[in-house]
Amino acid sequence: MTIISKDISKAVALLIAEDIVAIPTETVYGLAGNIYSEKAIKAIFETKKRPFFNPLIVHIPSVDSLSTIVDYIPKKAQLLADAFWPGPITLVLKKLQNIPDLITAGKDTVAVRVPNHPVTLELLNQLKFPLAAPSANPFSSISPTTAEHVETYFKDNIKMVLDGGACKSGIESTIIGFENDEPIIYRLGSTSIEAIEAVVGTIQIKNKKEVTPDAPGMLERHYAPKTITVLTDNVLDSIKKYSDKRIGLLVFNSEFESEAISSQIILSKNGSLEEAASKLYDALHQLDHQDLDVIIAEEFPDYGLGKSINDRLKRATKR
């Protein structure tokens, strides 16, 4: 049975025994295992039903430990690590030879970050090995932002969820790769483009569709509720279109009034994109459990974290 617990020493014991444990981070909950344990890493992929071609993110306790994972640190990678770690930025860099191929899907690069969560930082400090941790959800479903979300997903399939409360950022890390030492955004996420550009200057975006070159197009649907979800810049029009259905509405900052709406969640009454991002997945989880016919999601402003929220909503609407 899954145990939701705050006991870090219990998580340490399970991880040393090559078991897997769900852990809190500031972005979403992760499903963690020792990066050097083939048994643990295989269990992560199997539990998530994640295809092996989709690599995992390595979590380390400090900027200093980066040199135990990667072979070479471009200047702008060091600048980003110093500026944002601990925090929701993942760097994809050339791996050291001893980093297992299972973690990197056979690539010669590895994704790595220092998470900004006191419980998981304490856990990492007590362990002698880094943790590989993809999001703690079945492959392509909505990411978990509370211990209860994880328990609902995995019930008896994992032994422990280390409880660190609700995730503060609420969407996944921004992933940055390097080509000729220049940073490139591979996945939009919890650190805004504007914040990154303030540190390293103008940055190119190749917001990959969670695909590897050998598996084009397969992973466009991601972060998705079971309920049909549509994204719109005209909420009233969409309400009209689905007026004979049970509608759940997911909006940014202002309430819509219509008898056709069965349920409505406003993500941030003050119009804060940060607050909206932190509540996005929990809102999708809630709406997905309300026996609705359709979730109508309002498109967000196209700047700051609004861009990252739109990216996740787009993937949630793919069928």
For residue 185, give Cα distances in angstroms to 107, 218, 225, 311: 18, 20, 26, 13
Residue ranges in 42-61 that form contacts with ligand AMP under rule CB under 6 A: 54-55, 57
Is 109 a binding residue for ligand AMP by CB under 6 A? The answer is: yes
* Non-local CB neighbours of 99 within 8 Å, separated by 6+ positions: 35, 58, 69, 110
Bond prior to 86 in cis (omega within 30° of 0): yes
Residue ranges in 128-167 that form contacts with ligand AMP under rule CB under 6 A: 134-135
Near Mg ion by CB under 5 A, which window of 128-136, 235-243, 255-263, 292-300? 128-136
Is 135 a binding residue for Mg ion by CB under 5 A? The answer is: yes
Bridge partners for 248 per DSSP = 263, 295
Helix 193-200 and helix 75-84, axial crossing angle in degrees, nearest 10 = 130
Pick the binder of ligand AMP from 19, 210, 288, 298 (CB under 6 A): 210
Pick the binder of ligand AMP from 186, 223, 281, 300 (CB under 6 A): 186
187 binds, among Mg ion, ligand AMP, none (CB under 5 to 8 A by kind): ligand AMP
**Which C-beta is closer to ligand AMP: that of 141 or that of 238?**
141
2 binds, among ligand AMP, Mg ion, none (CB under 5 to 8 A by kind): none
C-alpha span between 163 and 55 (Å, rounded): 25
C-alpha span between 275 and 103 (Å, rounded): 32
Is 221 a binding residue for ligand AMP by CB under 6 A? The answer is: no
**Which C-beta is closer to ligand AMP: that of 26 or that of 298?**
26
**Which C-beta is closer to Mg ion: that of 135 or that of 192?**
135
String of contacts with ligand AMP for each residue 60-99, x by CB under 6 A: --------------------------------x-------
Is 104 a binding residue for ligand AMP by CB under 6 A? The answer is: yes
Cβ atoms 89, 176 nearer than 8 A: yes
* Non-local CB neighbours of 241 within 8 Å, separated by 6+ positions: none
Handedness of CA 27, 33, 36, 42 (dihedral sign): negative
Residues at the interface with Mg ion (CB under 5 A): 135
